[in-house]
Structure formats: C-alpha cells, structure tokens
Structure 1
Amino acid sequence: MREHKIAAIPADGIGPEVIAAGLQALDTLQQRCGDFTLDIRHFDWGSDYYKSTGRMMPEDGIAQLKSFDAIFFGAVGAPDVPDDITLWGLRLPICQGFDQYANVRPTRILPGISSPLAGVGPGDLDWVIVRENSEGEYSGNGGRAHRGLPEEVGTEVAIFTRAGVTRIMRYAFQLAQSRPRKFLTVVTKSNAQRHGMVMWDEIAAEVALEFPDVRWDKMLVDAMTVRMTLKPQSLDTIVATNLHADILSDLAGALAGSLGVAPTANIDPERRFPSMFEPIHGSAFDITGKGIANPVATLWTAVQMLEHLGESEAAARLMRAVEAVTAAGVLTPDVGGTATTQQVTDAVCKEIRGANI
C-alpha cells in the first residue's frame, strides 16, 4: 500500500469549501482504488491566523511543510487584509521556499461547459500554460524611498537569470514534447523590454536545439491575447514569464468557461521539496459561505497532484468522473448551472464509485 503525506491548507474565502470538496473526492478515490492512502494533515494558516497572530503562517511554517509529499492549497486573500501581506505571507514563501519554479496550468473546455467564444467547443481549446514561478516580475526585488514626499519613488525590478530561464524553457519544451502536437509557443515582450526579455528569447532559441522534434514559435504578449481569443486552435503548450503567464492563464480560464474550472500546479521538477497544488480562482469572498463555489478547479488540481505523486490511474479516474458530471449538466452557477458545491462533489464521488469510471 502506497502512502502519500498531504498538507492541506484551505486558507481564505472559498478555500475551505473547495478543499473540503477535493478531500471528499480524494477519500472516495482511495477507497475505490484500494492501492494507496493519503495521510492528510490540516493547517489553519491564512488571513484569520494573521488577524490573531500577526503572521499568515508560523515562523517555522516552511520547515513544518518540508516533510510532506504535496501541499493541497485553497486560496489566499481577504478584503480586510492588504493583498501584499496575504500573498507574500503565505503563498509566495511556499513557492519560493520550495523552489517550485514551474507553475503548470492546463486549460480545456470540459464537456457540458460553454466557452464565451462563438463556435469554439471541446477539442478546439486544449492548452497547457507553463508559468515561470520563481523570478521575473514577482521576484520581490525593488523598494520604496522618500515615502509621502512629492519625490516618492517605487521600483519593481524584474529578475531574469540564465539558470532560471533555461530551466523553465527546458521544462516547457519537455512538456510540449510529451503532448501529441509537440508544439510550443514562447511568449515574450522583447520589443519593449530589451534586456531580460531579449535574453529570454535567446535562451528559448538555444534550448529549442535540444528538442528538434518540437515545433515552436514566439509571440509578443499583447498579440498573444488576440491569438488566444481569435485562433485558440493554433495553440497547444505555452511558456511565459511570471507576470505574463499570470495574466494569460486567467484569460485562458475565462475562455474555457470560468475561472472556477481552472487548476494549477506549482512544481519542483527535481522533487527536492513538496510541490503545491491549488485552484486558480482565488478566495472569491463575494460568494464565500453561499455553497455555490465551483469545486471543479480543485478537483482538477487534485488530478494534477495525483499525477505528480505517481498515481496516474487514480488521476485518470478522477478526471473521467469530473467530465462525466459536467457532461451530465451538474454545474454550479458560474458555468450556467444551478447545482451547489456539495451537489457537484457528491455527483463526482458517485461517478468514482461507479463501475463505468
């Protein structure tokens, strides 16, 4: 019996609701498969923890997480706590502390869910966005000076290193190589950002030589938004900087029907540290407690976690169950349905237990 240690951090907003849904499905799945177990430990870190302690997580939080095989993360952010505190106090320290440099965001139009793009359905939009997750525009370099004075200045320094760019390019090319179309689009802005982004382009061309079987092209980030919207079939695997991919992946989720169906994996490809898996949608305080949060993003995120843990059969079973439920029209309001979070979760669990899945 294979055992995997999972740290569950529901955190803020709808995070506890969707993580509960994900854990229910995972529990059903391990009972159905019978060849692995998940040892789940819950952590109450987040904005409520901050309000009572002045920290988003304990000072030794990273050390506490280090022994786990994976981290199952909900969402971070609260209306009464500054966003920079919530993000830099919890999520980013985990990503950077464990060098989870590959942020992987698959996007597909699931059966039964409509895209806002006219004439685009399942099969027409099938992407994986690889986001550089350790440096770039979110490296944390910069500062503020002369606060409150007319000459106050704030600098935000984007950091691009040869090591950092090379490893994310190699990861993206390898991922593209593993997919049927073997096609990668490199997103850039080297016409205006003439130092780091020019190096980004040069390293992409260098790494491409290692993968002669992978076709690739290059797009400026602004033109990329047009291509994603008007020619979704022309894209497959995409790699972009921390900032650019953050923005483009939200657009991708919307084009697939809702951010409520968009998953994320923060991966340490070398497996030195635990990787972290989270839905893309954020804390969504406007619907917190209403019981209508879409659990699909979290369930799909659980699929990514299972794949990372080597449980490919269980991952495929869970994904088939999710697609069967969406195809049957059991959908939350964000994708045009009337079902609750619990109803979708129960339907997925019923599919997992069924003989056909």
Structure 2
Amino acid sequence: MKTYHLAVLPGDGIGPEVVNEGMKVVQALSEADSSFQFESTTLEWNSEYYLKHNRMMPENGLSILENYDAIYFGAVGDPRVPEHIPIWELIMPIRKNFHQYVNLRPIKQLPGVKSPIHAKGLIDFYVYRENAEGEYSNSGGRLYQGTSDELAIQNTVITKKGVERLARYAFEYAEKTGVKKVVNATKSNAIIHSMNLWDESVKSVAASFPEIEVEDTYIDALAAHLVQRPETFDVIVASNLFGDILSDLGAALVGGLGLSPSANLNPERNYPSMFEPIHGSAPDISGKQTANPIAQIWSAALMLEHLGREDLASIVMKAIENVVNEKTALTPDLGGTARTFETGDAIVQHIHKQT
C-alpha cells in the first residue's frame, strides 16, 4: 500500500471553500478503500502571505513542494495585490520549474447540463495546452515609461522541443483512446516565425502516428467552429495563450467555469504535477458558500488518475455525474440553491454508495 503525499494550496477567495470539498472527497475515498491512503499538508501561500512577507511563498518554497506526489491547488487573486503577482510569483514558478509542460483541460458536457448552444451531439473533447513557454513568457520589457514614447515588448518563446513533447503526449492519448483526428490550433499565416515552427514541430510528431489525421486550423476559425459544431472535436493541441482562451470558451459551452478542471502535468514524473480548477478566486462571492466545487473535485479526479488510481477517479466522476443529473444539490451557477458544502456532501454520499 502506497501513501500519497499531497501539498494543498487553498489560495484566496473561494479557493479554500472549494478545496475543502475536494479534500472531503479524497478523505471519503481513503475511508472506503484501504489501499488508498494519503497525507496532506496545507500551505497557506496566498495573498495574505504576500501582504505579510512581500512574497507569495517562502524562498525555499519550490524545494518544499518538490517532495510531494502532487499539488492540489485552489485559486489565487486578491484586490489588494496586483493581479500579476500571484501568477508570476506562485503559479508560474511551479509550472515552469517543475516542467509541468502539459496543461490538460477536459471539456465535457455532463448529463443534465444544458449547453447555451444547440449541439448535434455530446460535447466531449480535450485541450492539450503547452504550459511552460509560448506567449506566457517573461521575456521582454518596457522602455520610456511615463512618456509619450513608452513601449512594451513581450516575446513569445516557442521551441521545437517544447512543442514536440506536448504534441507527443496528445497524440499518444489519441492513439490510446482511438481518436482519429487531432486539431492543431495555429495562426502561421500571420505569426510567421513562432507559429510556423509550431506547425512544423507538430507535424514532425504526427509522422509517427500515421493513422491519426492532423487538421491545421487557424485560431480565429477554430473559435468559430467550437461554437458552430463543438461535438466534432476530440483533441486540440494549442499554444499557451491559444489553449487558455479555447478552453475557457469550451467551459462556457458545457456549463461554465465551475465545471472545468485542469491538470498541470510533468509526464516524466520527475516533479509533482499540479491540479486545479480553471476558475479564479472570485472575491465577490468569497465566504458566501455559493461557489460551485465541481471543477475542484473534478481536478481531484484528474489527480487520482495521474497517481495511477483510475478506479478511484471513475468513482468520483460517476458521483459528480449523478449529483448533476439529479439536480437536487446544484449551486446557483447551475440554476440551483445549494451551498458549496451541500454540493460537496452530495458527491461524497454518492461515493459512499459506490464503495
């Protein structure tokens, strides 16, 4: 029996509220299955920490996190702290230093959730977003600040290695699950240097998967296609910025950010991977117990899958689907009146029914 060591970073705003529900689910699984045991450490590295210490985490924070099997993350953001600070002093260092180069975002329409658009079939696809370089690079700067000549340069960093390792992970998933087409999100007609290297690198990987079709689609057309025919997509490979935007659009198509999880993966497992919902800290509803915890709980299912417990991940997903389909414990974003902890409790009850 392996004991899994989890670093829990609840963060700001609604983060602690939804993380609490996710940990209740993990605890319920541990109680029901003696082969799954875990130890968790809660690390209060958030905006309050920043206001006290002028940094988002201790100087040796990455060294502390490196010893865990996984990182379970809530959300960060506080009106008292400039928005870029929690991102660039907490989230980005974790993603980049731990080589979490795959950002996996499932876009799946759950039973009983109505999409705002009329799709001809089930919406169910994955966005594989490059997570370590791309448009979210710290390369660049500003000059002549405070003058009429002020300028800013933000460099996009695309490497052949970075694109190929992401694409290979996506194509291996497609091959494993029988997906016959991978859509490559690009804009190489206008962004001629970085995006052409992107396309060439994706195609070099695709050559090793001859049974899988690669469809290059310009990002603007792809956004339109996701609205017009989302049911036709299975796997999308995208750069850091493109993947971020497309997955948020996808979340809107299947019920909103409260139903959208993500995984920041280091496939080689040399470092811990991080699991989080894609929504923010929503300070306007913090403390009201109206936040939807499903994305956070779904992120726990992705974590369990990554840790090799697909069986437990399936139990969590079945419990989520049952609660959503029953419609008796839904939060306001899904048209219900349940409080955050009531949705979490309902999911835990369905887990107990299965174990």
Bucket of the pairwise TM-score, normalised by the shorter protein: over 0.9
Spell out, residue by residue over 1:22-43, the C-alpha distance to the aligned partner (whole angstroms, 9 max, x if none): 0001100111122111110000
- Match in the other structure for 2:277: 279
Residues 177 and 183, structure 1, Cα contact 8 Å, conserved in 2: no
Residues 187 and 195, structure 2, Cα contact 8 Å, conserved in 1: yes
Secondary structure at the residue paired with 1:138?
A: coil
C-alpha separation between the residues in 1 aligned to 2:190 and 2:177? 32
C-alpha separation between the residues in 2 aligned to 1:104 and 1:136? 16
Q: Output the amino acid matched with 2:338.
A: A
Offset of residue 290 of structure 1: 0.7
C-alpha separation between the residues in 1 aligned to 2:60 and 2:217? 42
Pick aligned residue for 2:201 from 188, 200, 203: 203
C-alpha separation between the residues in 2 aligned to 1:193 and 1:289? 44
Pick aligned residue for 1:172 from 152, 170, 182: 170
Q: 2:12 matched to 1:12?
A: yes
Spell out, residue by residue over 1:34-56, the C-alpha distance to the aligned partner (whole angstroms, 9 max, x if none): 21111100000011100111001
Q: 2:322 matched to 1:312?
A: no
Q: Output the amino acid matched with 2:313.
A: A
C-alpha separation between the residues in 1 aligned to 2:352 and 2:244? 36
Pick aligned residue for 1:222 from 220, 228, 240: 220
Q: Output the amino acid matched with 1:337.
A: G
- Match in the other structure for 1:322: 320
C-alpha separation between the residues in 1 aligned to 2:30 and 2:176? 27
Q: Output the amino acid matched with 1:345.
A: G
Pick aligned residue for 1:128 from 115, 126, 132: 126
Q: Output the amino acid matched with 2:143.
A: A
- Match in the other structure for 1:41: 41
Secondary structure at the residue paired with 1:286?
A: helix
- Match in the other structure for 2:289: 291
- Match in the other structure for 1:114: 114
Unaligned runs of 5+ in 2: none
Spell out, residue by residue over 1:40-80, the C-alpha distance to the aligned partner (whole angstroms, 9 max, x if none): 00000011100111001111100110000000000011112
- Match in the other structure for 1:264: 262
C-alpha separation between the residues in 1 aligned to 2:212 and 2:113? 31
Q: For 1:69-88, list aligned pairs within 5 A.
A: 69-88=69-88
C-alpha separation between the residues in 2 aligned to 1:267 and 1:91? 13
C-alpha separation between the residues in 2 aligned to 1:279 and 1:180? 27
C-alpha separation between the residues in 2 aligned to 1:312 and 1:35? 13
Q: For 1:32-71, list aligned pairs within 5 A.
A: 32-71=32-71
Q: Output the amino acid matched with 2:139.
A: N
Residues 74 and 279, structure 1, Cα contact 8 Å, conserved in 2: yes
- Match in the other structure for 1:153: 151
Taking structure 2 as the reference length, the TM-score comes to: 0.98
C-alpha separation between the residues in 1 aligned to 2:119 and 2:157? 40
Corresponding pairs, count: 354
More displaced 10-residue stretch of structure 1: 84-93 or 172-181: 172-181
Offset of residue 218 of structure 1: 1.1
- Match in the other structure for 1:94: 94
More displaced 10-residue stretch of structure 1: 239-248 or 142-151: 142-151
Offset of residue 182 of structure 1: 3.1
Q: Output the amino acid matched with 1:269.
A: P
C-alpha separation between the residues in 2 aligned to 1:119 and 1:65? 42
Identity score, percent: 45
C-alpha separation between the residues in 1 aligned to 2:180 and 2:337? 39
Offset of residue 180 of structure 1: 3.3
Unaligned runs of 5+ in 1: none
Secondary structure at the residue paired with 1:149?
A: coil
Secondary structure at the residue paired with 1:37?
A: strand
C-alpha separation between the residues in 2 aligned to 1:174 and 1:115? 29
Q: Output the amino acid matched with 2:219.
A: V
- Match in the other structure for 1:344: 343
CA-based RMSD of the aligned residues comes to 1.1
Spell out, residue by residue over 1:180-223, the C-alpha distance to the aligned partner (whole angstroms, 9 max, x if none): 33321000011110001011111111111101122221111111
Offset of residue 281 of structure 1: 0.7
Offset of residue 119 of structure 1: 4.6
Taking structure 1 as the reference length, the TM-score comes to: 0.97
Spell out, residue by residue over 1:83-127, the C-alpha distance to the aligned partner (whole angstroms, 9 max, x if none): 11111011111001101000000011111211111255xx52101
C-alpha separation between the residues in 1 aligned to 2:178 and 2:256? 25
Offset of residue 179 of structure 1: 2.2
Return structure 1 stretches of 4+ with deviation > 6 angstroms.
none
Residues 114 and 335, structure 1, Cα contact 8 Å, conserved in 2: no
